[in-house]
C-alpha cells in the first residue's frame, strides 16, 4: 500500500482554493438574496424637449415567460425646468385578466419636498420611481401599460423620460 504525501505548500494551496471557492459561493448567495426581485423588463421612452403634451400617451408592451407575481415600477426622469412641485399621471394597465383597462389609475409623483427642493436621485437629471403595484401573469401573457399626464398645463417642460420596470 502506498500513501501519497502532500507537502505543506500543496495543503496551503488547496486550503486557499477552498477558501476562495467558499467566499465566491457566499458572495453569490448574498447577491441573489439581496436582490429580492429579478428585473424581466426595463425600458424608458424619451420625451420631446418641446415638452410632454397631455395627448402624448407613452406605452410599454412586454410578454412574460413565466407564470408569476410581477411588480411594476414607473420611472420618471425630470430636469430643473419642470415648473411644478408634483406630477399627476394616469396609468392604464391591460393584461389577459383585464384586456381593456376600464379606467385610469391616478398617481401623484412628488417632484419637490415642502421646502421646494427637488427630490429624486441625480443632479441635473433627477430620477424618480413610483411603485405601481403587483400583477399576476401567466406564461406568455402580454402586459401593456399606458401613461399620460393629467396636469392642467397642456405641454409640460422638463420631463425627459418615462419608463417601466417589471420585476419577478
pLDDT digits 0-9 by tens, 113-139: 988 888 999 988 999 999 999 999 999
Give the torsion sign (CA, 123, 152, 49, 103).
Answer: positive
Which pLDDT belongs to residue 37?
87
Q: What is the pLDDT of residue 33?
A: 47
Q: Which residue has the higher pLDDT, 39 or 13?
A: 39
What pLDDT shows up at residue 15? 56
pLDDT at site 78: 96
Other beta carbons less than 10 A from residue 163's beta carbon? 19
In the predicted model, is pLDDT for residue 7 greater than 70? no
**Cα–Cα distance measured from residue 108 to residue 159, given in angstroms and rounded to the nearest whole number:** 15
Phi, psi of 18 (to 5 degrees): -65, -40
Lowest-pLDDT range, 19-28, 69-78, 123-132, 137-146?
Answer: 19-28
Confidence (pTM): 0.75
Q: How many CB atoms lie within 10 A of CB 157?
A: 15
Amino acid at each position: 500500500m502506498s500513501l501519497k504525501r502532500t507537502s505543506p505548500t500543496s495543503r496551503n494551496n488547496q486550503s486557499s482554493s477552498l477558501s476562495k471557492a467558499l467566499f465566491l459561493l457566499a458572495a453569490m448567495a448574498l447577491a441573489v438574496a439581496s436582490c429580492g426581485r429579478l428585473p424581466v423588463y426595463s425600458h424608458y421612452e424619451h420625451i420631446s424637449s418641446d415638452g410632454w403634451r397631455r395627448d402624448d400617451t407613452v406605452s410599454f408592451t412586454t410578454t412574460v415567460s413565466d407564470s408569476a407575481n410581477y411588480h411594476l415600477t414607473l420611472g420618471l426622469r425630470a430636469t430643473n425646468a419642470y415648473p411644478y412641485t408634483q406630477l399627476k399621471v394616469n396609468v392604464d394597465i391591460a393584461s389577459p385578466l383585464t384586456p381593456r383597462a376600464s379606467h385610469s389609475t391616478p398617481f401623484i409623483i412628488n417632484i419637490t419636498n415642502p421646502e421646494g427642493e427637488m427630490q429624486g436621485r441625480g443632479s441635473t437629471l433627477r430620477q424618480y420611481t413610483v411603485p405601481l403595484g403587483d400583477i399576476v401573469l401567466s406564461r406568455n401573457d402580454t402586459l401593456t401599460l399606458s401613461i399620460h399626464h393629467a396636469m392642467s398645463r397642456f405641454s409640460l417642460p422638463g420631463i425627459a423620460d418615462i419608463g417601466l420596470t417589471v420585476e419577478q
